[in-house]
Structure 1
Amino acid sequence: MNLLIELLAFAVAIGVLVVVHEYGHYSVARLCGVKVLRFSIGFGKPLVQWVSPKTGTEWTIAALPLGGYVKMLDEREAGAPIPPEALPHAFNRQHVAKRFAIVAAGPVANFILAIALFAVVFATGVSEPAAIVAAPTPNTAAALAGFDGGETVVGVRNPDGGSSEPVRSWSDLRWKLLGAAFDHRRVILSAKDSHGTSDFPLDLRDVAEKDVDDDFMSHLGFEPGGGKLIVAGVQPGSAAQHAGLAAGDRLVSIDGKPTDNATAFIAYVKTHAGTAITLQVERGGDAQQAGKTEAIHVVPLAQRDDTTGESIGRIGAELATQVPSIEVRYGPLESLQLGAHRTWDLAAYSVRMFGRMITGEASLKNLSGPVTIADYAGKSARLGPSAFLSFLALVSISLGVLNLLPIPVLDGGHLLYYLVEAATGKAVSDRWQLVLQRAGLACIVALSAIALFNDLARLIHF
């Protein structure tokens, strides 16, 4: 069933994104007076075909739905001479500005779609974790900033002045800190607790490039807090089972320190291999004991860490964090503005990340292929409409950015040709275009191979 959901979600995602991208090319081509011969969704053998009596465009749905194309009237591709009356409608006869606009329209359509999707999500409301900070791991950026745990971040501002930007949710906080880390700058977080509102200076100037990834917030010591740390399962024969822990138990404290976050709890256990720790536990699995709190003593077993090779402590319990969530909703105009802002931030992040992968400052493991996309499509679809729309927006931005890269065979490569033509007054020769096209195709094949390898590595964990 999960596989079916993933395949259907993947098909819908790819179908929507391809149609929007190609319709961008199509609509601007029509506005510029260019004759469009075919609008195809997919490649290979046509499954469905029909011809518009108004425009004469052949609309096609092909057997292989991973992509699509718009074929325009062009003397360079025509199999037979084009009638003189049709020449003004040929793509190659258009001014360079029109050709530029037609090619750029595809990626632009993807960005417009992302803005619209994000705006819908913001306007209809989405449930997100509240921006409550859990007790940070010692010596992390959050700990050095002064966070003890339990504070709710409400704003972020530049230490050099300027107005404070509100922080409405955990994802909102993450995006603001991600932008500051990329710019290697300091920020001041305003957070409130039972004592009032205080400022926490956070220095992100020395954040390593390798740390700007999916675990970015964890590297800084920020984890969602204010919730409940629940035992989701206990491994047979483990220290947790021998101590009496059971699924459904709530972990209240560890050695007298309140705990509401799995990351900090695990980090503490790792440093106490062979040493007894005391857990304050609120029973939840047994109806007769529900709500009762008791102390449990457990000795973490020393095990070898597969990553570092060091001996660490483990108790053999699966943990789940139940954090407070809030309903985030905005007005129509603000939703549109936030959608544009989020799209710009994600596009800039993608460009920066790709540039750093080229220079070796970021790992090529960040590239993902169709397997990972299908996996996330299925997961987001199961989470609900808001998550799936956000996923669609993210992939649409990635598609737009990818197509704008100055690689021949992509839209960005053609745009580069037109910029050269506009600057020199001469079109790039067919010979050079052929040479660059082969080089661009090699780049695309290499990127696809790396992405597929990363997909397989994630799938079989090698």
Structure 2
Amino acid sequence: MLDEREAPVATGELGRAFNRQSVWARMLIVVAGPVANLLLAVLLYWALFVHGVPAIKPVLAEPAPASAAAVAGLHRGDEISEIAGQPVQSWADVDWILVRALPANQPLQIKLAGGTLRQLDAGGVMLDDGKFNVSAQLGLQLFEPAVPAEIGQLIADGVAQRAGLRVGDRVVTVNGQSIKVWADFVQWVRMHPGDLLAVVVSRNGQPVKIDLTPERTQEGPQTIGKIGAGPKIDEVIFKEMLTEVHYSLGGALRQAFAKTWETSLFSLGMMGRMIKGEVSWHNLSGPLTIADYAGQSARSGGLAFISFLALVSISLGVLNLLPIPLLDGGHLMYYIIEAIKGSPVSESAMEFGQRFGMAVLLTLMVFAFYNDVTRLFGSQ
């Protein structure tokens, strides 16, 4: 920054020095960075909405008995069109709308495709930790068509391949228990990390016995088993579960601004809940997790990566606008005070603010790095 407080400024450039600008000009300068972050998110979302974003239809599986969804009268195959008056176009909208609508003092109105209304009691939902899925707590589960227990893909040199499984094998039994669909096989593998499983598959019409031991893998607080195998997917069934969310040029721009605004408010709300203790500090993420998610989104395709970039850009913009000294929002706070009282904030007050801001940021960094390490390399 061209500023006499930072370094000597040539006489011919004194008029351009930051410290000599009006307080209003300085306000605009410090908010320019965060605003650019938010505008970038708008641009990215606009491009996504114009192009069209593939998404999963909000169709429900049969709710667990006695769950809030079951009590509300929701059933397998129901497609949600609205929650609490907010339109639902994809399954991703379900948790997004629920988190923003909770805590709710009265039942949430669920509108189904066709116009049927249901009242969903959301009392008792836990919002204190990001590991708890809000929709799952209410019994709202995504409908998954039955996938045959047939091996469709194998990870090179993975547990399944080393044990002798081949693409095209149909899993018949595990430890003598019948396997009907792929989900049954997945359940056995996940629940038996490090345990020897006796698997019988049908290969070219002949039974073949294969012994394999699922690899122990950490998934959040749980240790689960994995073998490096995937099912054979019927593309017709898969496509029936997909929809595409897209808008016209003008509609996409409105949606992009709305999405950026809502995400910004949601981020601020989550920060407020953390401060009040309503949401766990485990939700904070640092550079390791961001890099990990960036890699995952890039592998998922260009649209997923662009969406991730928009989210990161919003997070940066919102964070930098917080009234914490050292951040742009902290400088903006000083200039607002200056505009009100008619004189700059004292040097001693600014020095104290700098120290306070440094302490806050260092504390946040420690939490973020700790969460990164435990999330990626351990358990929490």
2:10 matched to 1:77? no
User: Superposition pairs for residues 145-294 of structure 1, below 5 Å?
Assistant: 145-158=72-85, 165-181=86-102, 186-192=107-113, 197-204=115-122, 206-210=124-128, 215-229=133-147, 231=149, 241-243=174-176, 250=181, 286=203, 288=205
2:65 matched to 1:138? yes
1:360 corresponding residue in structure 2? 277
Q: Is the 8 A contact 1:408 1:437 kept in 2?
A: yes
SS of equivalent to 1:326: strand
Q: CA deviation at 1:436?
A: 1.1
TM-aligned CA distance change 1:184 to 1:352, over 3 Å:
farther
Matches of 2:17 and 2:81, distance apart in 1? 56
Deviations 1:86-115 (A, max 9, x none): 222111111111111110111111111111
How many residues in Structure 1 have an aligned counterpart in Structure 2? 332
Return structure 1 stretches of 4+ with deviation > 6 angstroms: 232-236, 306-309, 316-322
Q: Is the 8 A contact 1:119 1:336 kept in 2?
A: yes
Q: Is the 8 A contact 1:209 1:362 kept in 2?
A: yes
Letter matched to residue 50 of structure 2 = A
Letter matched to residue 75 of structure 2 = D
Letter matched to residue 223 of structure 1 = Q
1:43 corresponding residue in structure 2? none
Matches of 1:404 and 1:89, distance apart in 2? 24
TM-aligned CA distance change 1:363 to 1:285, over 3 Å:
farther
Q: CA deviation at 1:352?
A: 1.1
Q: Which has the higher contact order (CA 8 A, sep 6+)?
A: 2
Structure having the larger proportion of residues in strand: 1
Letter matched to residue 341 of structure 1 = A
Q: CA deviation at 1:74?
A: 1.0
Query: Which runs of no fewer than 5 residues in structure 2 stay unpaired?
Result: 152-158, 164-171, 192-199, 207-218
Q: CA RMSD in A?
A: 3.6
Q: Is the 8 A contact 2:130 2:283 kept in 1?
A: no
2:379 matched to 1:448? no
2:100 matched to 1:100? no
1:90 corresponding residue in structure 2? 17
TM-aligned CA distance change 1:187 to 1:212, over 3 Å:
farther
Match of 2:312 among 386, 395, 399: 395
TM-aligned CA distance change 1:407 to 1:240, over 3 Å:
farther
TM-aligned CA distance change 1:184 to 1:228, over 3 Å:
farther
Q: Is the 8 A contact 1:408 1:436 kept in 2?
A: yes
SS of equivalent to 1:210: coil
TM-score, normalised to structure 1, is 0.64
Q: CA deviation at 1:330?
A: 1.5
Deviations 1:40-94 (A, max 9, x none): xxxxxxxxxxxxxxxxxxxxxxxxxxxxxxx2x111112x3541x4222111111
Deviations 1:197-237 (A, max 9, x none): 4211123354333266562221222221052345488999x
1:427 corresponding residue in structure 2? 344
Q: CA deviation at 1:308?
A: 11
Deviations 1:414-435 (A, max 9, x none): 1111111111112111221111
Letter matched to residue 67 of structure 2 = T
TM-score, normalised to structure 2, is 0.77
1:378 corresponding residue in structure 2? 295
Q: Is the 8 A contact 2:129 2:283 kept in 1?
A: no
SS of equivalent to 2:334: helix
TM-aligned CA distance change 1:216 to 1:128, over 3 Å:
same
Matches of 1:139 and 1:319, distance apart in 2? 32
1:20 corresponding residue in structure 2? none
Identity of aligned residues (%): 39
Matches of 1:317 and 1:87, distance apart in 2? 65
Deviations 1:334-373 (A, max 9, x none): 1111111111121111111111212222111000011100
Q: Is the 8 A contact 1:229 1:319 kept in 2?
A: no
Q: CA deviation at 1:242?
A: 2.0
Deviations 1:365-398 (A, max 9, x none): 0000111001100010011111000000111111
Matches of 1:172 and 1:135, distance apart in 2? 19
Q: Is the 8 A contact 1:186 1:203 kept in 2?
A: yes
TM-aligned CA distance change 1:448 to 1:157, over 3 Å:
closer
Query: Which runs of no fewer than 5 residues in structure 1 stay unpaired?
Result: 1-70, 159-164, 252-260, 271-282, 290-305
Q: CA deviation at 1:127?
A: 1.4
TM-aligned CA distance change 1:184 to 1:347, over 3 Å:
farther
Matches of 2:47 and 2:276, distance apart in 1? 37
SS of equivalent to 1:431: helix
Deviations 1:135-156 (A, max 9, x none): 1122332222211211011233
Q: Is the 8 A contact 2:130 2:282 kept in 1?
A: no
Q: CA deviation at 1:157?
A: 4.3
Q: Is the 8 A contact 1:124 1:329 kept in 2?
A: yes
Letter matched to residue 102 of structure 2 = A
Matches of 2:50 and 2:143, distance apart in 1? 26
Matches of 1:285 and 1:446, distance apart in 2? 57
Q: CA deviation at 1:175?
A: 2.2
TM-aligned CA distance change 1:92 to 1:382, over 3 Å:
same
SS of equivalent to 2:75: coil
